[in-house]
Structures are given as structure tokens and as C-alpha cells.
Structure 1
Amino acid sequence: MDRLIYTAMTGAKHLLEQQTTNAHNLANATTTGFKAQLDSFRAVPVISEGLPTRAFVVDATVGTDFSTGVLQHTGRDLDVAVQGKGWLVVQGEDGTEKMTRHGSLKISENGILQTQNGLQVVGEGGPITIPPEVTIAIAKDGTISTIPMGTKPNAVQTIGRLKLVNPPESNLVRGDDGLFKTKDGVIPDADAAVTVTHGSLEGSNVNVVDSMVTMINLARQFEMQMKLLSNAESNETKASQILTLG
């Protein structure tokens, strides 16, 4: 009887974890640059003195869907979207370089180029400082140029270049802060092949319809596991009654 109980219990436990991941994806369906999380499960047989008739479910890895989201044109000077493969480098709260696809930027009160949540954008030469009262233009290769207001358009000054990288996706891991870093801790070098689109943002790659269907399927699978536990309890009760009559 315990075989059925533990098998159903582990299945229900990991179904709840998968439901949590799916709900997290749905909650970020409108988050700029968000990459959907993927759960991967595998069956592990239980090795005992008897026959290997039982198998437990184990959460093997939590992966990431790196497909590109839909580009949304905003027309804002400080919005950039990475085209194709690649990442924008920012400085995390712990001071290390991390990667993101969220290209909605702002200028701090000190003139430092930052993300909307206050993280410094890393340039190829360090932090990028924007002078006051200028018009900003970001080229396809990430070069940032400014034109002082009230001057001729040909008075262009280059002040820096975004650090754009493209490490192997197999070497990337998502941190608790939602930013990505390399598994080996090696800071990737700038990749000249990575380009950006000025005045646009990349939307989330979460498919809302697929996520809703997945949520319904997971709920049904969880209900099936609960029915197995209920059947195990019913069988145990009837077995106890038979033993009592005997």
C-alpha cells in the first residue's frame, strides 16, 4: 500500500512545483525582456530488495526558454532591444557584472546610465555618464552619442558604448534577482556581432495561451494524484475490515 502512497505523493509534490513555475511565467507575461522558465523532470526507480516496481519523480533541472520576444516600438531615446542572440551587461547589486534583455534605461540624478530598477549599465570602458541637456542617440552597435540641445545636428559627441555580450546559452544561469550570469563565473567579453534596436523594447517570450493550457493540464494531473491517494486510503480501510472479520 505504501508504494502507491509514496509514488502519488512525489508526483503531486513536483506537479505543485511545476505549477509554481508556470504561474511565475504567467505573472511575467508583460515583463520586458523576460525569458520563460522551463521545468524538466525524470523518473528515478526505487532500488530495494524486491523488484524495481516503483519510480519517483525528480526535478532534474530548471531551464530557460531563450527564444526572442516580440519587439515593441516605443520611440523613447533610452529604450534599446537586443536583436537576436545577445545580452546587455549591467552591474548587479553585489557589484558583479550580470546580463539582462530589459533595455528600458534611465539617467540617474548623477547622470549615470541605469536600468529602471537602479542598476548601472556597464559600458566597454566602465559606467556611462550622460551630460545634462543633450539629445541621446544609440547606434546599432551600442555606441551612445549626444547632441547638445540648441546646437547644430553635426555637433555629435560619442560618450561610450554599451557592453553587449553573447556567451553560450548552455553556460547561463538565472539568479534570484532575475538577472543572468555564467555558471563558471567568467565575465564574458564584449561581442561586436551583437546589435541593438534604438527606440524599441523586447517583450516577454511567454505564450499566455500555452501557459493557461498547461495550468489546466497540471491541475488535472494533480487531481489524479489526489484520487490515487484517496484510493490507497480506501483500500487500506477495506483491508483492515477484512482482517478484523478474520
Structure 2
Amino acid sequence: MDRLIHTSLSALRGAMARQAATANNLANVNTTGFRGELATARSLWMGGQGFAARAFSAEEVSGADMREGTITETGRALDIAIAGDALLTVQAANGDEAYTRRGDLKLSDTGLLTTGDDHPVLGEQGPITLPPADQIKIERDGAVWIVPTGGDPALPQRVDRLKLASPVGSDVVKGLDGLFRVRGGGALPADPDARLVSGSLEGSNVEATKALVDMIDASRAWETQLKLINTARDLDGAGADLMRLPD
């Protein structure tokens, strides 16, 4: 009985992990630049003397779906969508370099350029800070141009260039904060060929219909394991009855 119960318990944990990842994907179906999380299961065989007769299930988030999302034109000067697989470099909460596909940029009260979730955007010279300007424009190559307040629109000034990195050939993992990092630390190389689509945003690549189906599938897997546990309890009760001495 205990073997069946512990095997089912490991499957229940896996179903919970899968359900959590699916729920997070579904909650971010409208989040700009969101990359869906991928949960995979693997078998963990019990070691020891004799034959390997039991395998526990271990399911966890193993990576992210890096497919591009749908690009929608907004017309807003600070909205950008990244073409291809390049990543925008930002500063994480601990000060380290991290990466995102989120392009709904905004300016703080001090002129600091940040993403929609308040991570400072890094340029070739560090965090980008813009002075008061009548016009802001981000070129296809990531260059940031402004027309200072009261300046001549025909004479824009280049402030910096967005730091765009290439994840190709690198082991990139997604953190709990939604940002991408190089596994084990380090930084991604710059991508000089990266191009932006200004005045547009890339949506989430999560398919709501598929996420709902995955959630139903995980729920049914949970119910199946509960039934197995109930069956094990019934078998244990029946075995105890057989061993009971007659009055």
C-alpha cells in the first residue's frame, strides 16, 4: 500500500506544479512580451537493493516558450517591439543585468527610462535617463533621439542606444520575476543586427485555449491520483480483514 500511495503522492506534486505553471501563463495572457512557462516531467527511479521497481514523478518549470508573440501597432513613441529573438537589457532589482521582451517603456519622474514593470532600461552607457524633451524617438537600431524642450525639431540629439542582446547559443533561464538571465551568471553578447518596430508592442505568446486545455488535463490527472490513493486504502482495508482472526 505504502508504495502505491507514495508514487501517487509524487504524481500529485507534479500535477500541482503543472497547474501552477499553467495558471501563471493564463494570468499573463495579456501581459506585454510575456513568454509562456514550460513544465516538464521526468522519472526518478528508486535506488537500493534489488530491482528498480518504483519511479517517482518530478515535474517542474524547465524553461520558457521563446516563440514570438503577435505585434500590434500602438502609435506611442515609447512602445517598441523586438523583431527576431533579441532581448532588451534591463537592470534587475538586485542591480544585476537581466533581459526581457517587454517593450512598453515609460519615463519616471526623474527621466529614467523603464519597462512597464519598472525595471530600468540599460543602454550602451548604463541606465538611460532622458532630459525634458518635446519629442522622443526610438530608431530601428535602438538609438534614442530627443528634441530638447524648446529645441529645433530639425536638430534632434542622440542620447544613447538601447542595449539589445542575443540569446543564441547561450543557456538562458527565466526567473521568478519574469526576467531572463544566463544560467550560472554572466551576460549575453550584444546583438548589433537586432531591429525594433517602433510604435508597436509584442503581446504574450500564450494561447489561452491551449492553456485552458492544459489546466483541465492537470485537474484530471490530480483526480486520477486521488482515486488511486482511495483504491490503495480499500485494498489495505480488505487485506486487514483477511488477516483478522475469526471470533
TM-score (norm 2): 0.93
Q: Does 1:210 align with 2:210?
A: yes
Shift of 1:195: 1.0
Q: Does 1:29 align with 2:29?
A: yes
Q: Give the secondary-structure state (helix, strand or coil) at the position aligned to 2:244.
A: helix
Aligned-partner Cα distance in 1 for 2:13–2:129: 49
Aligned twin of 1:154? 154
Deviations 1:155-185 (A, max 9, x none): 2211111000012365111222211111132
Aligned twin of 1:195? 195
Q: Give the secondary-structure state (helix, strand or coil) at the position aligned to 1:59.
A: strand
Aligned twin of 1:223? 223
Aligned-partner Cα distance in 1 for 2:127–2:52: 59
Aligned-partner Cα distance in 2 for 1:230–1:78: 57
Aligned-partner Cα distance in 2 for 1:151–1:126: 25
Change (3 A) 1:214 1:61: closer
Aligned-partner Cα distance in 1 for 2:63–2:245: 54
Amino acid of the structure 1 residue aligned with 2:156: V
Aligned twin of 1:122? 122
Q: Which moved more, 1:120-129 or 1:163-172?
A: 163-172
Aligned-partner Cα distance in 1 for 2:8–2:156: 67
| Residue ranges of structure 2 left out of the alignment (5+ in a row) | none
Q: Which moved more, 1:57-66 or 1:171-180?
A: 57-66
Aligned-partner Cα distance in 1 for 2:5–2:205: 38
The percentage of counterpart residues that share the same residue type is 39
Q: Give the secondary-structure state (helix, strand or coil) at the position aligned to 2:231.
A: helix
Aligned-partner Cα distance in 1 for 2:219–2:67: 26
Aligned-partner Cα distance in 2 for 1:208–1:47: 40
Q: Give the secondary-structure state (helix, strand or coil) at the position aligned to 1:62.
A: strand
Q: Does 1:108 align with 2:108?
A: yes
Aligned twin of 2:49? 49
Change (3 A) 1:244 1:170: farther
Aligned twin of 2:133? 133
Aligned twin of 1:77? 77
Change (3 A) 1:5 1:205: same
Aligned twin of 2:175? 175
Aligned length: 246
Deviations 1:174-206 (A, max 9, x none): 222211111132122321111111011111111
Q: Give the secondary-structure state (helix, strand or coil) at the position aligned to 1:41.
A: strand
Asked whether the 8 Å contact 2:132–2:149 carries over to 1, the reply is: no
Aligned twin of 1:234? 234
Change (3 A) 1:170 1:228: farther
Asked whether the 8 Å contact 2:8–2:229 carries over to 1, the reply is: yes
Change (3 A) 1:198 1:38: same
Asked whether the 8 Å contact 1:148–1:155 carries over to 2, the reply is: no
Runs of 4+ in 1 over 6 A off after TM superposition: none
Shift of 1:42: 1.0
Shift of 1:149: 5.9
Aligned-partner Cα distance in 1 for 2:72–2:212: 23
Aligned-partner Cα distance in 1 for 2:27–2:169: 24
Aligned-partner Cα distance in 2 for 1:107–1:237: 67
Asked whether the 8 Å contact 2:37–2:61 carries over to 1, the reply is: no
| Residue ranges of structure 1 left out of the alignment (5+ in a row) | none
Aligned twin of 2:12? 12
Asked whether the 8 Å contact 1:39–1:63 carries over to 2, the reply is: yes
Q: Which moved more, 1:56-65 or 1:157-166?
A: 56-65
TM-score (norm 1): 0.93
Aligned Cα RMSD in Å?
1.8
